A and B are shown apart, each in its own frame.
Chain A
Amino acid sequence: MRRTAAVLGAAGLMAGTVGCGSLTSSATEVGGVRMTDPRPVRDGGTLTVALKADPDKLDPTLAQTLVGRTVFAGMCEKLYDTDRTGEVVPQLAAALPKTSDGGRTVTIRVRHGLTFSDGTRLDAAAVARSLERHRTLPGSARATELGPLVKAEATGKYTVRIRLKEPYVPLTGVLADRAGMVMSPTALERYGKNFTNHPSCVGPFKYVERVAGDRIVLAKDPRYYDADTVHLDRVVYKTITDGNVRLANLRSGDVQVGDQMGPVEVRSSLTESQLQLFNSPSLGYQGLGFNTGNVHGTGQKPGKLHTVLAREPRVREAFALALDRRLINKVVFQGMYEPACGPVSPESAIAPGTADCPERDLPRAKRLLKEAGVGLPVRIELKVSTSPEDSRLGQVIQAMAREAGFDVRLRPMEYATLLEETDAGQYDAYVSGWSGRLDPDGNIASFVGTAGAMNTYGISDPDIDRLIAEGRTTQDPAARARVYGQLTDHIRDQHALIYLYRQKNYVVARQDVAGVRVYGDGLVRVKDAGYAR
């Protein structure tokens, strides 16, 4: 009994030490960007990656989740990929695409001599078939981003021609994501919609098995064109939703890589000598949305809404001016994210310049409310998800807005309900976010374009719509960046979507692992990973 008490006592003491010690250590500074660990690695071994959520369907046409994209990064290569600088580079394609016919025809050359994990050869016909499936399969999550695509066809053994309704510059960025993943035509023929349980692509690892809620196992694919540079024998993706549990498993060595670690876990892990941290800026954003015209539901044409928030932009502007982005980042996220005031990350290859975020300005906020002639306090219900981060964020927003003359009532709700109510327009304001896309269009068009598929805010502005169209058709990168700069200004003038902060991708790995890559798209790449020599 005495021995048991001693062990329990030690455990309690250790729990306290681990929790508190890390916060007072000088080793807790998180700075700069660290995307990989270049140490040489040895061949062999299994790498276990802990994911924050269980991936959905392992079918590039139907898949929706960020964690699913991480699994795809291990087994399904794309026509294009992003490099560490956010530039699009060829992957299964032999070169960047060529456009003709005023941008309405895109020609892609496919690499020679590549093989799917089931032994089928990769050719232009396979690429065209996958693109057509992405475009036409009922329920396809790729249909919107491939909307301008009219037809994809093989014009030669290794040449694909894509015909578009109108010029669509974001296409290359779109093909650097799941829409650019090519599926084995043999597997598609054999399994159809059940491809999700037998995925076969070109990639460093091939699918072995999946146990629901537990693990997805991939094994090194000897048919992969670059198999000599792949070091690991197997990669296992495990779902561990709780950040504390993910960290405990990293400490115990049961997993080697922890994906999407939160600020608290990152701080705690920094003093552990056996752990290392990777981080990269993200392409997404997090913010706050107001309902300014969503009366018929998302995706429908906005209408007139008779709330103070909807009819009076000065009230929305006053709310925006009441918020201090830097303080939010410091208080809620321990200063580990970045303040944001636009839809496009400065890390994006087409970034519209680094305009300063508006500072908190309480006198001006109060003046605007007075000019608008609204009764004080202005009562607003803010819907937040039940996650601890969103709850903390909601409380800080509530406190800041109160000083300007707002009475914010927080309404925490379960995520599916939040989605339903905000999509139906049953809200004043809600905490809103997006994981981000390589091309700026993916962060803008669906959200703020009139009747955009995810325009829950009911935004309808002819200038925004015109600029979205211009951004999609402008070829010159510098000119495009200018268009997105103007778009950012117009979106900001609406004050319907207030951008607050940009998350950073934090990945914690054990020290004996090297070669893991963490880029701006937030995926954990394991192709070059292995155990350090």
Chain B
Amino acid sequence: MSRYLLTRLRQSVITLFLVSVVVFAGIRALPGDPALALAGEERSPEALAAVREAYGLNDNIVIQYGRFVGHALTGDLGTSARTGLPVLDSIRNALPVTLELAALSLLLAVVLGIGAGVLAAVRRGKATEWLANAIALLGLSVPTFWLGIVLVLAFAIAVPVFAASGYVPFGTDPVDNLRRMVLPAVVLGSGLAAVVMRQTRGAMLDNLSADYVRTARAKGLSRRQVIGGHALRNSLVTVVTVLGLQLGHLISGAVVTEQIFVLPGFGKLTIDAVFTRDYTMLQGVVLCTSAAYILINLAVDVLYSVIDPRIRLGGAR
């Protein structure tokens, strides 16, 4: 296991290096001169020249990359070219928001998705399955932005149970935190819950008709043991795989959700940086997001072996 972990960690570092190259080159390749965007409305030639000088935009791209990596290795991701705020501070502020949003959405997706998926499979051909399928289809089809606005109108304005925007750390005020985070988590988690539900239902249907389930039933195991202990446990491998693949949905979905609910997370930071060509902020945020993505994938791989010990780890024999 430890050898496997070391191999995967080494691969992760190489991936991160490649990502940093792609991110850096990609941002530089974006159309639109960042100096023009940074110099803003009153862009005199002198101001433009000073912006280019201050942010090293006149240097060769390889030198710029070397400087970026050199600083990043010492934990310095630079200062925002637009606001002058340290990028690392902004990331540190944004990280808990996005992590909490992702965790709550994931929790919602897992609980609702797996629950409804199991229910739909067990009650195959009945109204419950039809309803679960219809809701899942709705969850997949409804645009995030529309759902967000409707939820705000319903639960923050008409019946003001939740807040329409903003973030308060859980440690500062847990109640206010949840008041602000429930709606975004529902918006972000609904699509994922639908995917999880459909995958769980499919996997459960396969497993429920498998020979080992028939054997388990023949042995006289209770319905709960057959469904929970056998069929569901085996179905979870598929679900975890899907969850891993759907993390991209969480990250991209967070961009829109954070805009609607004015949550100062990674998504909002990214969008603001893109539109203002704040490339220092953008490369810092994208790099950290990529690192998180790589780590999550690593965790998902490790989780496979915990859920299903039959899965052998490459290089661990």
- Choose among A14, A299, A417, A420 the residue that contacts B153 (Cβ–Cβ < 8 A): A14
Which residue on B lies nearest to A7, using beta carbons? B154
Contact B277 A416 (CB under 8 A): yes
Q: Is B50 an interface residue (CB 8 A)?
A: yes
Q: Is A64 an interface residue (CB 8 A)?
A: yes
Q: Is B93 an interface residue (CB 8 A)?
A: yes
Contacts of A18 in B (CB 8 A): 153
- Choose among A139, A193, A252 the residue that contacts B51 (Cβ–Cβ < 8 A): A139
Contacts of A245 in B (CB 8 A): 149, 152, 165, 259-260, 262
Q: Is B173 an interface residue (CB 8 A)?
A: no
Given contacts A56-B40, A213-B268, A245-B260, contact A420 B32 (CB under 8 A): yes
Q: Is B5 an interface residue (CB 8 A)?
A: no
Question: Which A residues from 1 to 41 make CB contacts under 8 A with B?
Answer: 7-8, 10-12, 14-15, 18
Bound Cα distance from A145 to B50, whole angstroms: 16
Given contacts A138-B54, A139-B47, A139-B51, contact A420 B33 (CB under 8 A): yes
Contact A54 B277 (CB under 8 A): no
Q: Is B151 an interface residue (CB 8 A)?
A: yes
Size band of the B side of the interface? 35 or more
Interface string of A144-180 (1 = CB under 8 A from B): 1100000000000000000000000000000000000
CB distance from A246 to the nearest CB of B (A): 9
- Choose among B89, B164, B167, B272 the residue that contacts A252 (Cβ–Cβ < 8 A): B164
Contacts of B45 in A (CB 8 A): 298-299, 453
Q: Is B80 an interface residue (CB 8 A)?
A: yes
Contacts of B167 in A (CB 8 A): 214
Which of B60-68, B155-163, B231-239 lines the interface with chain A?
B155-163
Contacts of A252 in B (CB 8 A): 152, 156-157, 160, 163-165
Contact A15 B153 (CB under 8 A): yes
Size band of the A side of the interface? 35 or more
Q: Is A143 an interface residue (CB 8 A)?
A: yes
Contact A57 B32 (CB under 8 A): no
Question: Which A residues from 162 to 221 make CB contacts under 8 A with B?
Answer: 193-194, 196-197, 210-215
Contacts of B152 in A (CB 8 A): 245, 248, 252
Contact A54 B51 (CB under 8 A): no
Q: Is A251 an interface residue (CB 8 A)?
A: yes
Contacts of B53 in A (CB 8 A): 138-139
CB distance from A237 to the nearest CB of B (A): 12
Contact A138 B50 (CB under 8 A): yes
Given contacts A7-B159, A139-B50, contact A254 B42 (CB under 8 A): no
- Choose among A66, A214, A241 the residue that contacts B264 (Cβ–Cβ < 8 A): A214
Interface centre among B32, B167, B262 (most CB of A within 10 A): B262
CB distance from A305 to the nearest CB of B (A): 20
Contacts of A435 in B (CB 8 A): 41
Q: Can you show 28 pairs from A to B with CB atoms below 8 A apart?
A: A7-B159, A8-B154, A54-B276, A55-B83, A56-B82, A57-B82, A64-B41, A140-B50, A141-B39, A143-B46, A196-B84, A211-B93, A212-B272, A213-B268, A214-B93, A214-B264, A214-B268, A215-B264, A248-B152, A248-B164, A249-B164, A249-B165, A252-B152, A252-B163, A252-B165, A420-B31, A423-B33, A453-B45
